[in-house]
Structure 1
Amino acid sequence: MKLSNHILIISLLVTILCLSTQSQAKAYKTVLIHGFQAQQLFTIDSGKLESDAESYWADYWGPLADERIDWPSFERVEGKIASDYLWPKLKSMSEQGTCASGCIFLTHSTGDLIARYIIDNQANWLENAGLQPLNIVATFDVAGAGGGSELADVAVNVANGASNPLTEAAIRAWLGRSIGETLGVLNDLKVNNARQIASFPDSRTPRLRFIADGDLFLGATKLFLPGKDDSVVATHSACGANQAGSFDSCSLNIATDGKVTSQDKGVRHFLPYHYPMLMSDNYDHLSIIIDHAKGKVTAANTAIDIAPNKRVAFNTYTKNEGFWLWKKQYTYVRNSDSQSMSALMFAALPE
């Protein structure tokens, strides 16, 4: 074997060891719940769920997490996703004591909706089976689709024959091809449907929100998303607003780009225990979960206590730009110009 190959292998092993050590230093176990995976609608293969999930999280979060909850996009949340995938995994996690000292669920996109359904049901399911409920301390919901996506409404309409060139182009851009016969979780992602699934869980688990406001698909999907959006989910969903609507920020006094100014179209009312944290107009729906710094990030809230003596917090600073009448003030998260949003999130996990 060439020396260069030896060096590469050693470097990879050191990286994996460092990531493992960092993960073990955190106070709570991290559990990943991925989002909607379009390719699963066109090639239905339950045998690929594990490899699909591994690929989904491969860029950053995979090596850092302690556990994953995988689920198929070709099924429905309150159907086989719950019975055949969520329940067996939750049962196994309870039996193994995975969350005995506490877990933080990190979700992306539709994983937000899956987590809400789990939070609303897991205690009853496990107690009825004579098992200990999971201790879910909090969730980090990244580009959360728990409030549904208007693109799902468009996709279902197109599948039912109500299409035109604009809707066809948007769906092809989002899904990678025209919609077929299998709709699966897209039915649950329709805005009204998503907001009826476990919309007010009894659990007081804090749902921390991380929001992007960037562009994908050359803007093909934005026409169908109200207010600001990350090209897949609108701000009302990502922020955790208690109703769908056209919103431009998760805050009433700071824009997604960090500008400190009154937000007439900021979200005023949130779903119970939903707290917007980081926002950025530099990240889109996909780049927000990879380890690539794309630009500065701001904070709708700088800190929240998720348990006694356990806080999720971000250091911010203010910066003035322009002069005189054109002077503007911005608030940014420290180091966000050089670290990805995912790296900022990981660093904020309690130790």
Structure 2
Amino acid sequence: MRKSTFLLLAGLLSGAAQAAVGGYPVVLVHGFQADNLESRPTGEQVRTNGGQYWAQYWRDRADERIDWPSQERIANKITSDYVWPKLQQMSRAGTCASGCVFVTHSTGDLVTRYIIDNQALWLQNAGLQPLNIVATFDFAGAGGGVELADLAVNVANGSGLIDATLRFAVSLWLGMTPTPSTIGVLNDLRVNSARQLAAFPTSRVPRLRFAGAGSDFLGATGAFLPGEDDGVVASHSSCGAASVGSYNSCSRTVAFDGKLTSVSGPSQFMPYHYPMLMSEGYSHGDTITNSAKDEVTTANSSVNYLNGDNLQFTTYEEKRGWWVFSSRYRLVRNSGNTSMSSLVYQAAN
């Protein structure tokens, strides 16, 4: 084989390996990391933390990451010192020239909404090509705010009605008791603050939502979250609801466990937000691991990307129970033994 032919073939194979989701490069934006509030990482440690965050499933299926430290604020140092340099790098490299997909978790949903609302103008003003983001996959999205963040800020500042149960729930989530100097991005995660940050982006990028209703904290945090929650984020946020509410599903016709029934779900969603997968057994952190936790259902089985391409899940229905006590359930095929992240990845490819 001639050297030039070998190099061309190697390049094609490399490009194919990097086409992580349906031919589109994947950009990861991680979520809140509580230990950052005290350790205050910078530089290489931020990048190391970002790689570890995604290690269980998505890290080796992505082309780029936007890593950021949780002790900072989104519209300040997170953007100026971490997001903006990465956007410039990706624009110059043409990472998203033919389209790319952002995969986010938790607060990464909010960071990405801020990026979507501003990146085109920022890059154009710098003489660079805006990123062509065709969709985002938002796991356990915190873009609608986190009630626990409101409580954590109250605990840190000694404001509001604080009791031992509340302090315990906050300390379970954060692994510490917050102080005024260890709040950082929690300020942005407060429900009202989050919902005001880039609430109506002009870009029409579809935000595809994947939500769970389990808990990492034995239900201790759920008492402070309205409706169904994943132990950290209430369903009004993870589903992408237009307003805060005590919702028990991302849909009004199917429950988190797949039961086809009338249920309390949002009637409206934030602009271009589309709930897709739901599961009763997935906690906040479970959604981005490579471990199957429970069967998965759909709020929507199919949604189009910005450029018209499609993400679609294969579902089936079955009857469970006996006689008049039976109910029908809608489930994603093979979801009982396939992780939620893997279901998304397989469907996208």
TM-score by length of structure 1 reads: 0.92
1:35 — aligned with what?
Answer: 31
2:20–2:62 Cα contact (<8 Å) kept:
no
1:305 — aligned with what?
Answer: 304
Give the drift of 1:244: 0.8
Secondary structure (helix, strand or coil) at the match of 2:345 reads helix
**Residues 247/34 of structure 1: CA separation in 2 closer, same or farther (3 Å cut):** same
Secondary structure (helix, strand or coil) at the match of 1:89 reads helix
* Superimposed CA distance per residue, residues 276-303 of structure 1 (whole angstroms, 9 cap, x where no aligned partner): 0000011000111000011100000000
Distance 1:237 1:308 in 2: 26
1:232 — aligned with what?
Answer: 232
1:108 and 2:90 aligned: no
Give the drift of 1:24: 4.9
Distance 1:321 1:220 in 2: 31
List structure 1 runs of 4+ shifted beyond 3 angstroms.
20-25
Secondary structure (helix, strand or coil) at the match of 1:218 reads coil
**Residues 128/252 of structure 1: CA separation in 2 closer, same or farther (3 Å cut):** same
Give the drift of 1:21: 3.6
Secondary structure (helix, strand or coil) at the match of 2:329 reads strand
1:167 — aligned with what?
Answer: 166
2:212–2:230 Cα contact (<8 Å) kept:
yes
Supply the AA of the counterpart residue of 2:92: E
- The partner residue of 1:137 within 134, 137, 157 is 134
1:244 — aligned with what?
Answer: 244
Secondary structure (helix, strand or coil) at the match of 1:50 reads helix
Give the drift of 1:26: 2.8
Where do residues 1-351 of structure 1 align in structure 2 (5 Å cutoff)? 21=17, 23-24=19-20, 26-47=22-43, 48-162=45-159, 163-180=162-179, 181-263=181-263, 265-308=264-307, 310-349=309-348, 351=349
2:138–2:208 Cα contact (<8 Å) kept:
yes
**Residues 142/294 of structure 1: CA separation in 2 closer, same or farther (3 Å cut):** same
* Superimposed CA distance per residue, residues 240-266 of structure 1 (whole angstroms, 9 cap, x where no aligned partner): 111111111111100000000011x11
Give the drift of 1:27: 1.6
Secondary structure (helix, strand or coil) at the match of 2:210 reads strand
**Unaligned residue ranges in structure 1 (runs of 5+):** 1-16
Number of aligned residues: 332
Distance 2:77 2:308 in 1: 39
Supply the AA of the counterpart residue of 1:201: P
Secondary structure (helix, strand or coil) at the match of 1:112 reads helix
Distance 1:174 1:330 in 2: 33
Distance 2:267 2:308 in 1: 28
**Unaligned residue ranges in structure 2 (runs of 5+):** 1-12
**Residues 326/192 of structure 1: CA separation in 2 closer, same or farther (3 Å cut):** same
Supply the AA of the counterpart residue of 1:155: A
Give the drift of 1:22: 7.8
Give the drift of 1:307: 4.4
Supply the AA of the counterpart residue of 2:108: G
What is the identity percentage for the equivalent residue pairs of Structure 1 and Structure 2? 56
1:10 — aligned with what?
Answer: none
Secondary structure (helix, strand or coil) at the match of 2:218 reads helix
Give the drift of 1:164: 1.6
**Residues 224/88 of structure 1: CA separation in 2 closer, same or farther (3 Å cut):** same
Distance 1:247 1:24 in 2: 33
Supply the AA of the counterpart residue of 2:88: K
Distance 2:307 2:91 in 1: 23
**Residues 226/25 of structure 1: CA separation in 2 closer, same or farther (3 Å cut):** closer
Output the aligned Cα RMSD. Answer: 1.5
Secondary structure (helix, strand or coil) at the match of 1:211 reads strand
2:211–2:238 Cα contact (<8 Å) kept:
yes
Secondary structure (helix, strand or coil) at the match of 1:294 reads coil
